[in-house]
């Protein structure tokens, strides 16, 4: 692998025309690959006017499988809202941040963030199969932009090897599964060779936006000593299709633990009905456990997609009352300045009087619990 290798470039290469995995290559090739490809879509005048300016801040890319989910008759379609640039994106509010969770302040070497002792983020690529308009890393993706290059990870891998407290390596980016199998196998082997690392975690939207890419070759590249957890990123039940179901089945059969994180987005998934259906279908149909529901962070130009925290808490409370523990995500905010992800509730503790606690039940009634602890 030389430099800047990503699916997008690979699908472009003519010599790949006979590749057996043609399905995903068609999805890439026939999708939106540049802002100029938006011109052929039935956009609103506002979207059309915003496309060029928005693309300067955050690239535009939408595989065909994901594009096909858009109902163009619905201006508020939840798939469209996630990937089509909008005029609101160009309105930046006071206080919004270029690096909302301070990835860069906690980066001791290039392509690595180390904030919690036992786990690191590793960025093998800054490219994605799909670009989500609300992405909190959009400014890093635009500024750095590069794909995988073996040499670019050397310092990060040496850092992991030199820190025995690191047990978990989280591949993120960018989208790690936008890399070719060969690059993934190479990265897997290098991390596997570091004895104190026990878990490899992959944060990805590929199973959602480019499910045809989840091939037997891809899952084979990730087999070995390490436990593998794939954290998908579904935001709406409309993203769950026969194709995403097949992708998740392939990953489950490969032995990966599957979790999902969603971002709470106004106009996309900010009702209890939408979130409930999403969480149930993730678990029942895909075998993917809802892990986090993220409150919107302060990425620039995203005020129109943020809810208030009080709205999020009310949604999280309603989900907690309706869904089993397995189907229920934890509602979190990733704090600015690297404060980490903290649960925002709902909170059931109403108060305490010495050893007697007043706690609100799922039915809304407040009950007491008095501590009795042996000495």
Ligand X SMILES: *Cc1c(COP(=O)(O)O)cnc(C)c1O
Distance, in Å, from the CA atom of 203 to the CA atom of 211, rounded to the nearest integer, reads 14
Query: What residue 137 binds from ligand X, ligand SF4, none (CB within 5 to 8 A, per partner kind)?
Result: ligand SF4
Q: Which residues are annotated as a binding site for [4Fe-4S] cluster?
A: 128, 132, 135
Between 24 and 131, whose beta carbon lies closer to ligand SF4? 131
* Residue 304 contacts ligand X per CB under 6 A: no
Radius of gyration of the chain (CA): 21
Between 130 and 282, whose beta carbon lies closer to ligand SF4? 130
Query: What residue 135 binds from ligand SF4, ligand X, none (CB within 5 to 8 A, per partner kind)?
Result: ligand SF4
Query: What residue 132 binds from ligand X, ligand SF4, none (CB within 5 to 8 A, per partner kind)?
Result: ligand SF4
Among residues 6, 82, 113, 235, which is the contact residue for ligand X, using CB under 6 A?
Answer: 113
Between 56 and 227, whose beta carbon lies closer to ligand X? 227
- State the DSSP string of 149-181: -GGGGHHHHHHHHT-TT--EEEE-SS-GGGS-H
Query: What residue 116 binds from ligand X, ligand SF4, none (CB within 5 to 8 A, per partner kind)?
Result: ligand X
Distance, in Å, from the CA atom of 215 to the CA atom of 196, rounded to the nearest integer, reads 29
Site string for ligand X, 86-105 (x = CB under 6 A): ---------------x----
The per-type count for the chain, helices as H runs and strands as E runs, is 13, 12
Which ranges in the chain belong to alpha helices (H)? 7-12, 22-29, 45-57, 64-67, 78-83, 138-143, 154-161, 181-192, 206-209, 216-220, 242-253, 272-281, 309-322
Distance, in Å, from the CA atom of 118 to the CA atom of 104, rounded to the nearest integer, reads 18
Site string for ligand X, 163-202 (x = CB under 6 A): -------x--------------------------------
Between 235 and 317, whose beta carbon lies closer to ligand SF4? 235
In sequence order, the 6+-apart residues with CB closer than 8 A to the CB of 217 are 21, 181
263: left (phi over 0), alpha (psi -120 to 50) or beta: beta
CB 100 → ligand X: shortest distance, Å? Answer: 10
Rounded (5°) CA angle 283-286-292: 50
Query: What residue 175 binds from ligand X, ligand SF4, none (CB within 5 to 8 A, per partner kind)?
Result: ligand SF4
Distance, in Å, from the CA atom of 58 to the CA atom of 33, rounded to the nearest integer, reads 13
Query: What residue 131 binds from ligand X, ligand SF4, none (CB within 5 to 8 A, per partner kind)?
Result: ligand SF4
Between 130 and 170, whose beta carbon lies closer to ligand SF4? 130
CB 101 → ligand X: shortest distance, Å? Answer: 6
- SS3 at position 114: strand
- SS3 at position 61: coil
Between 59 and 137, whose beta carbon lies closer to ligand X? 137
CB 135 → ligand SF4: shortest distance, Å? Answer: 3
CB 302 → ligand SF4: shortest distance, Å? Answer: 12
Query: What is the dihedral sign for C-alpha 289, 246, 174, 96?
Result: negative
Q: Supply φ then ψ for residue 341, to 5 degrees.
A: -90, 120
Residues that bind ligand X (CB under 6 A): 101, 113, 115-116, 119, 121, 170, 341
């Amino acid at each position: 692998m030389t430099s800047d290798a990503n699916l997008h470039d690979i699908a472009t290469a003519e010599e790949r025309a006979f590749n057996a995995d043609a399905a995903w290559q068609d999805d890439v090739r026939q999708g939106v690959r540049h802002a100029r490809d938006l011109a052929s879509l039935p956009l609103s005048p506002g979207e059309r006017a915003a496309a060029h300016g928005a693309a300067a801040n955050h690239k535009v890319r939408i595989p065909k499988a994901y594009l096909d989910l858009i109902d163009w008759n619905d201006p508020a379609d939840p798939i469209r809202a996630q990937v089509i640039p909008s005029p609101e994106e160009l309105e930046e509010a006071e206080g919004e941040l270029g690096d909302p969770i301070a990835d860069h302040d906690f980066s001791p070497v290039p392509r690595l963030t180390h904030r919690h002792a036992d786990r690191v983020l590793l960025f093998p690529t800054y490219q994605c199969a799909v670009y989500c308009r609300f992405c909190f890393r959009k400014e890093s993706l635009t500024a750095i932009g590069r794909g995988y290059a073996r040499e670019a990870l050397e310092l990060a891998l040496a850092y992991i090897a030199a820190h025995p407290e690191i047990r978990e390596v989280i591949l993120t980016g960018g989208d790690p599964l936008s890399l070719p199998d060969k690059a993934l196998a190479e990265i897997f082997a290098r991390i596997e060779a570091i004895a104190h690392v026990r878990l490899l975690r992959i944060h990805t939207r590929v199973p959602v936006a480019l499910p045809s890419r989840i091939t037997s070759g891809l899952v084979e590249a990730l087999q070995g000593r390490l436990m593998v957890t794939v954290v998908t990123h579904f935001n709406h039940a409309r993203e769950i299709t026969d194709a995403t179901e097949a992708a998740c089945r392939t990953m489950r059969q490969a032995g990966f633990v599957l979790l999902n994180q969603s971002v709470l987005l106004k106009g996309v998934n900010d009702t209890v009905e939408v979130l409930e259906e999403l969480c149930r279908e993730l678990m029942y149909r895909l075998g993917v456990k809802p892990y986090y529901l993220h409150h919107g962070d302060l990425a620039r130009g995203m005020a129109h997609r943020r809810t208030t925290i009080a709205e999020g808490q009310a949604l999280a409370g309603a989900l907690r009352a309706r869904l089993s523990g397995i189907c229920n995500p934890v509602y979190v905010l990733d704090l600015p300045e690297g404060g980490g992800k903290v649960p925002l509730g709902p909170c059931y503790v109403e108060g305490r009087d010495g050893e007697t606690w007043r706690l609100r039940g799922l039915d809304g009634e407040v009950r007491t619990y008095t501590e009795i602890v042996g000495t």
